[in-house]
């Protein structure tokens, strides 16, 4: 698992890289530092070097308190991608390299 700590939230997501050019889902966990319930997050991905994101908009489903699954992600080209999770006015980002 990888952890990304923000000012108000902590994100945990899988360490393994997703597939290239194939749809995938991302299961992840979020917790608020103050113990409050976590609002619904928004998930996206971005390629900083190319200044563009995915060609698809994923849907996010809560699977348990603080646990979510984003469906409909697709990384259509190799390179450095950032998962971007927006929650409660904060953005948490995790980088992944695809060959």
Q: Are 42 and 60 in contact (CB under 8 A)?
A: yes
Domain limits of the chain? 2-98
* pLDDT, average across residues 9-36: 96
Tokens at residue 78, please?
């190799």
Predicted local confidence at residue 55, as pLDDT: 86
CA angle 93, 94, 98 (to 5 degrees): 135
Rounded Cα distance between 96 and 87, Å, is 20
Q: What is the pLDDT of residues 27-85, one digit of tens each?
A: 999 999 999 999 999 999 999 999 999 988 999 999 999 999 999 999 999 999 999 99
Predicted local confidence at residue 97, as pLDDT: 94
Q: Are 93 and 82 in contact (CB under 8 A)?
A: yes
CATH 3.60.130.10 fits 2-98, yes or no: no
**pTM of the model as a whole:** 0.92
Residue 96: strand pairing partners? 81
């Amino acid at each position: 698992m990888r952890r990304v700590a923000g000012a108000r939230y902590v994100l945990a997501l899988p360490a393994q890289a997703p597939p290239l050019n194939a749809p995938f889902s991302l299961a992840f966990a979020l917790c608020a530092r103050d113990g409050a319930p976590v609002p619904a997050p928004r998930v996206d991905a971005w390629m900083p070097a190319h200044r563009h994101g995915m060609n698809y908009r994923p849907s996010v489903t809560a699977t348990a308190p603080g646990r979510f699954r984003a469906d409909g992600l697709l990384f259509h080209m190799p390179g450095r991608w950032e998962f971007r999770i927006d929650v409660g006015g904060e953005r948490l980002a995790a980088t992944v390299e695809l060959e």
